[in-house]
Structure 1
Amino acid sequence: MTLTCQLDPVLDDELRDGVLALWTDVSNAGGAVGFVPPVTADDVRPDLDRSLAAVEAGQRRLLVGRDEDGRIVATAFLTYNSHRLMAHWLWLYTVMIHPGRQGRGYGRSLMAAVEQAARGFHGIEAIRLTCRGGTGVDMFYATCGYKEVGRVPAAIRVAPGDDRDDIVMLLTL
């Protein structure tokens, strides 16, 4: 099974619905993508709308991964820095693989597509991301070449008494 990635897809209703369903499913499976389960599509929609508005405004780029049946099963948002002294690196946000597709190499394929896309952006020298501690995803990113460059202890409150570290990782291109 292969993942086909596309940078800057057409932002039509099919794409919006597909990314919304993915984001909701990933959140409800416990994925660290800005929510704590349970969530509905109505809970996620405002965040999706803001992200897609940033894409439409040219502040972000969207990378979508589709399975062999054309279903959206992966995404990543690449966000340019607006600060003039930091314009040489970009942020990577909302990296998602559908829970039912994990363990098939889709995550590694998506991260390779992210790196390839970033290498094609003029003046970009690194990719920076943050991830929630306690999920193990930092170990996955490390296998993709990212290095931990910072950690803020207990910065993310998942629930009362459940605080997680905010881990900052960097991939130099």
Structure 2
Amino acid sequence: MSLRFELDPAIGPQLRDGLLALWADVSNAGGAVGFVPPVTAEEIRPELVKHFAAMTEGRTRLLVGYDEEGAVAATAFLTYNTHRLMRHWIWAYTVMVHPKHQGKGYGRDLMAAVEEAARGFDGIELIRLTCRGGTGVDRFYASCGYKDGGRVPGAIRVEPGDDRDDITMYLPLY
């Protein structure tokens, strides 16, 4: 089975709660999506509210992957640049696949859906994302066609004594 993707779904309590649960589950499984375990959905809620505000303002779009039961299983937030010299590319943020679905090819499906969505955005020629060094996820993104755009050594402090590189990767769409 594969995921069913939806760009710009209607936000309601079920989707909100599904996003919070996904984000907490991914974080608590060691996923590098802005939090360090243990974390609760309530601790994540303010960050999700910021994403929703950016969506309301038209700066961010949401791509959701639903599993065969209709549960939120994967996400990516796609954010436009507001700087006049950088409007030709978008950021992919909070890219997640639920831990119970990892190893099924859903990550590749999500990245293909991100690319397909971005190709439909007027004037977008490139996707950029960042990832946390030391997780191996940069190799995954490279296998999806993303190129290493540079890194800032030790820019992410997971905890005292555990600093990781902030890796920027990009995918040209032309």
Compute the TM-score of the two structures, normalised by the length of structure 2: 0.98
Structure 2 residue aligned with 1:96: 96
Structure 2 residue aligned with 1:153: 153
Distance 1:29 1:57 in 2: 32
Corresponding letter in the other structure for 2:113 = A
Distance 1:66 1:110 in 2: 11
* RMSD of equivalent CA atoms: 0.5
What is the aligned residue count?
173
> What is the deviation of 1:63?
0.1
> What is the deviation of 1:32?
0.3
**5+ residue gaps, structure 1:** none
> What is the deviation of 1:19?
0.3
Corresponding letter in the other structure for 1:54 = A
> What is the deviation of 1:57?
1.4
Distance 2:75 2:53 in 1: 16
> What is the deviation of 1:155?
0.4
Give me the identity figure in percent: 71
Distance 2:52 2:25 in 1: 18
Compute the TM-score of the two structures, normalised by the length of structure 1: 0.99
Runs of 4+ in 1 over 6 A off after TM superposition: none
Distance 2:147 2:87 in 1: 20
1:114-170 C-alpha deviation (Å, 9 max, x unpaired): 000000000000000000000000000001100001110000000111000000001
Structure 2 residue aligned with 1:162: 162
Structure 2 residue aligned with 1:131: 131
Distance 2:172 2:53 in 1: 28
Distance 2:136 2:56 in 1: 33
Structure 2 residue aligned with 1:120: 120
Corresponding letter in the other structure for 1:130 = T
Distance 1:153 1:83 in 2: 26
1:88-123 C-alpha deviation (Å, 9 max, x unpaired): 000010000001110001100010000000000000
| DSSP 3-state at the match of 1:85 | coil
Structure 1 residue aligned with 2:76: 76
